[in-house]
Structure 1
């Protein structure tokens, strides 16, 4: 299984940093012997510039991988810590390069290990490595990452199914609401028609009552007139 390109570039950058530390140590030794280290200084300047560029490339590559989610967040954090350590290492090497080699220089092991004591056996580039990946090879780390990615993909697939079902339920509920609204509209129209009929029939009943009352009064008047006429023409004894 091929190694991750980012990790390959990281290893190459670490080797370059170690090479620079070795050359700084040799440059200082030449200065103490009053030899001319001009050629070595020129090489160191070029190497330090290259180291800065490679660290920048590592940072940019990590940013792209994180943005596109090609690696897990825990791995992104681990690699960011490694880049931060390289940045600190670069500053230490630049400071050591600018320092006069005739003065008491830090020991060679200090340059190579970033200031740790000679009895420390810990790799300075792996200080911030998380416990879950410690001791694993690059291939094993990649397999672990792929397994986590597969699990996440399975979870996303399950979530997509649930969302699809909810979307279908939403459509069915919307269709049911549309049907209910149509029924309500029909009922409203029927109620309006019935209300209009009731009002019309009420008007007719009132009209009939009015006419009936008028007819009743006319009959009474007629009867009274008849009674008067009868009394007037009835012979008296």
Structure 2
């Protein structure tokens, strides 16, 4: 990734390790009692402390990057393998530095362990990482990040559509609630009117029954008058 200094720090650390190995080989060509041997030993000892510190910094930096998900899991695994290789070479450098016999030195520094084509023993790197340079890894990371960004953008569009659908459904529910409230109010008013009209009908019915009674009474009164009046006229 752009601005990722881990890979350049690793290259510097690996280069320092190669320089240390060259200094050890140069030192071992001198007599142990010579001043050149002593001077080179002091220089190598200081460089090895720096090498160990750089390896530890790389390890801590990788831990922070993996915790914050700034790099892919595949790249974390690749870089961890690179750090493990540096740790192994650190032990080999220490053994070479402490070695005192030329035969043991040649066995430690033989072509099988530090070949010119693979001075740091990276041939045991997983197949998917072999032949892939730092620039290629950065390109792969950028491709992965771009694909993740596209996926996140598509997901954002889907979420936006779902949010708009939820808003529309909420508005429709509000409209339906208003309509239901209006129907309820009209139903209540209609019920009140029905009850009022029912009371009016009862009153009218009661009045109608009273009027009928009065008609019957009047008719009976007239009949009584007629009955009384008819015999009176006959006697006359």
Q: TM-score, normalised by structure 2?
A: 0.68
- Indicate how the Cα distance of structure 1 residues 212 and 54 shifts in structure 2: closer, same or farther if over 3 A, else same: same
Moved over 6 A (4+): 22-31, 33-38, 116-119
Q: In the alignment, which residue of structure 1 is the partner of 2:12? A: 12
Residues 129-169 of structure 1, C-alpha deviations (whole Å, 9 max, x = no match): 451x3212222222232233223333333333333333333
Residues 173-225 of structure 1, C-alpha deviations (whole Å, 9 max, x = no match): 33222222222222222111111111111122122223333443454455556
Q: In the alignment, which residue of structure 2 is the partner of 1:77? A: 77
- Indicate how the Cα distance of structure 1 residues 230 and 147 shifts in structure 2: closer, same or farther if over 3 A, else same: same
Q: In the alignment, which residue of structure 2 is the partner of 1:135? A: 131
CA shift for structure 1 position 9: 1.4
Of 165, 180, 185, 1:169 maps to: 165
**C-alpha separation between the residues in 1 aligned to 2:92 and 2:58?**
18
CA shift for structure 1 position 231: 5.7
Does residue 52 (structure 1) correspond to residue 52 (structure 2)? The answer is yes
Q: In the alignment, which residue of structure 2 is the partner of 1:188? A: 184
Does the CA-based 8 Å contact 2:17-2:51 persist in structure 1? Answer: yes
Does the CA-based 8 Å contact 1:66-1:76 persist in structure 2? Answer: yes
**C-alpha separation between the residues in 2 aligned to 1:112 and 1:72?**
36
Does the CA-based 8 Å contact 1:20-1:93 persist in structure 2? Answer: no
**C-alpha separation between the residues in 2 aligned to 1:57 and 1:76?**
15
Matches within 5 A, 1:138-149: 138-149=134-145
**C-alpha separation between the residues in 1 aligned to 2:94 and 2:134?**
33
Of 193, 200, 204, 2:196 maps to: 200
- Indicate how the Cα distance of structure 1 residues 210 and 19 shifts in structure 2: closer, same or farther if over 3 A, else same: same
CA shift for structure 1 position 79: 0.9
Does the CA-based 8 Å contact 1:22-1:108 persist in structure 2? Answer: no
**C-alpha separation between the residues in 2 aligned to 1:3 and 1:107?**
41
Higher RCO, 1 vs 2 (CA within 8 Å, ≥6 residues apart): 1
CA shift for structure 1 position 18: 4.7
Q: 3-state DSSP class of the match of 2:142? A: helix
Q: How many residues align?
A: 229
**Bigger Rg, structure 1 or 2:** 2
- Indicate how the Cα distance of structure 1 residues 89 and 193 shifts in structure 2: closer, same or farther if over 3 A, else same: farther
Matches within 5 A, 1:29-44: 42-43=42-43
Unaligned runs of 5+ in 1: none
**C-alpha separation between the residues in 2 aligned to 1:180 and 1:57?**
65
- Indicate how the Cα distance of structure 1 residues 109 and 207 shifts in structure 2: closer, same or farther if over 3 A, else same: farther
RMSD, matched Cα:
4.4
**C-alpha separation between the residues in 2 aligned to 1:109 and 1:201?**
118
**C-alpha separation between the residues in 1 aligned to 2:45 and 2:221?**
143
Unaligned runs of 5+ in 2: none
